[in-house]
Amino acid sequence: MKIVQVQTQAEAAGSQRISDMVGEGLRARGHEVRTVFMYRKTDVYDRDPYADFILAAPPRGLPAQARAAVGLAGYLRRTRPDAVITFQHYGNIFGTIGARLAGVRPIVANQSGAPQTKGVRGMLSQIDKLMGTLGLYHANVVNSAWTKAQFDCYPQAYRKRILRIDHGVAAPLEKFDKAAARAAFGLPPHVWLAVSSGRLSPSKNQIALVGALAHVPNIHLAIAGTGPEWEALVAFAKSKNVADRLHLVGEVPPARIFEFLAAGDAYAFSSTTETFGLAAVEAAISGLPVVSSNLSVLQEVLTTEDGEPAALFVEADAQSIAGGLANIIAKPELGAHLAAAGRRLKEQYSPARMCAGYEALLVS
């Protein structure tokens, strides 16, 4: 089967990691799979033999956005896949329109967030609601019980196409040496180091992680990721006199994320909104004790099937996160207990199980 995955932007983020695993898994099952990005945002996919780009840079203004949408439709008409899998708001909308114009069935959409009511996101949610209600998607995938519940008030015509497929989360293929990992990323060798990863954006709330440094003396923090909050984080760290303990390492490609995680003594995750929390689950599976914001969805996905928490859940503010990290430092047995529970999530979020779920949708 010839399959095209439609993503909005090419960067190292959670949604893109999922399409990477889906593509790899379906290719292993004998399918031909490519991922097309509406635009290139960073260079992380430049050497991916299965990646294509509609625009070489992020679109600025409506004319450029229109070129991306029209270009995507043209790409799908030329490639004529047997099925299309779409991701993110714009990918879902324009990927579905392009697939319909190209005569492609089935179309599988992925819901990457709860419905919104305000601004551009609110408008996109309304378009998604209409498209799903009209049956323009063959299936609508959600990744957790929490995410599925966010659509409970939607029309039955929309909800009947919702299917839950939990994200697959890759496990490390090798064991990395902590000292070597710190050297590889330019991190200090002999400090207690909390690590975090994700796009530097307001919803990821890394400002609280930086603030936590002011409450726990001597610990350091390393964050992998890029985004609009970079300068704000640096400025805030300077204002709190903790800039020497903050290490922004930039974008880390998926192939090196477990090497980065190996540099840490614990993982801190301060998001204020998530639909799954892939980065936190990755860290838990890697064997790091996790301090996480206490969102309902994170409490769901960071709990083992036998009910064991794989994270210490705290409020998403600087003082609470600092308290969680200090607790792990003071109680090594707590950190070991959380790490052991986290490793057990490996089978719970098997990439093979996720890919089998997508394949069943596409060939049914």
Query: In the predicted model, what is the mean pLDDT of residues 290-314?
Result: 97
**pLDDT at 364 (0 to 100):** 73
At residue 105 the predicted structure's pLDDT band, cuts being 50, 70 and 90, is confident
Domain 2-168+350-363: which CATH number of 3.40.50.2300, 3.40.50.2000, 3.20.20.140, 3.40.50.300? 3.40.50.2000
Query: Which amino acid, one-letter code, is at 239?
Result: S
Q: Tell me what pLDDT residue 13 has.
A: 85
> In whole angstroms, what is the distance from residue 274 CA to residue 29 CA?
30
Instruction: Determine the CATH number of domain 178-348.
Output: 3.40.50.2000
Matching residue, tokens 């719970």: 348
Q: Which region holds residue 88: left if phi is over 0, alpha if psi is between -120 and 50, else beta?
A: left
Task: Note whether 166 and 144 are within 8 A (CB).
Answer: yes
- DSSP category for residue 185: T
> What residue spans define the domains of the chain?
2-168+350-363, 178-348
Q: Beta-carbon neighbour count of residue 233 at 10 Å? A: 20
pLDDT band at 112 (very low <50, low <70, confident <90, very high): confident
pLDDT band at 215 (very low <50, low <70, confident <90, very high): very high
- Both structure tokens of 191: 């400090």
How many helices and strands, by DSSP H and E, does the chain display? 16, 13
Average pLDDT over all residues of the chain: 95
CB neighbour list of residue 243: distance below 8 Å, 6 or more residues apart: 234, 237
Q: How confident is the model at residue 14 (pLDDT cuts 50, 70, 90)?
A: confident
How does pLDDT run across 75-104, given as a tens digit for each residue? 999 999 999 999 998 999 999 999 999 999
Answer whether 147's CB lies under 8 Å from 14's CB. Answer: no
Contacts of 260 (CB under 8 A, 6+ apart): 181, 185, 195, 197, 222, 224, 249, 252
List, as one string, the DSSP characters of 307-355.
S-BSSEEE-SSHHHHHHHHHHHHH-HHHHHHHHHHHHTHHHHT-HHHHH
Structure confidence at residue 9 as a pLDDT band (50, 70, 90): very high
pLDDT of residue 261: 98
Nearest residue to 213 (alpha-carbon basis) of 240, 232, 233: 240
Stretch 31-40: mean pLDDT, rounded?
A: 98
What span, in angstroms and rounded, lies between the C-alpha atoms of 327 and 341? 17
How would residue 116 be classed by pLDDT, with cut points 50, 70 and 90? confident
- Give pLDDT, residue 121: 87
The domains spanning 2-168+350-363 and 178-348 adopt the same CATH topology: yes
pLDDT at 158: 97
The predicted-structure confidence for 130-164, as pLDDT tens digits, reads as follows 999 999 999 999 999 999 999 999 999 999 999 99
Starting at the edge strand found earlier in the chain, the sheet holding 312-314 runs: 246-250, 220-224, 193-197, 266-269, 290-293, 312-314
Closest to 145 measured CA to CA, from 118, 123, 163: 163
Long-range CB contacts (within 8 A, 24+) of 296-299: 296/146, 297/144, 297/146, 297/147, 298/269, 298/271, 298/274
Tokens of 214: 């002011």
Strands 246-250 and 162-164: unpaired
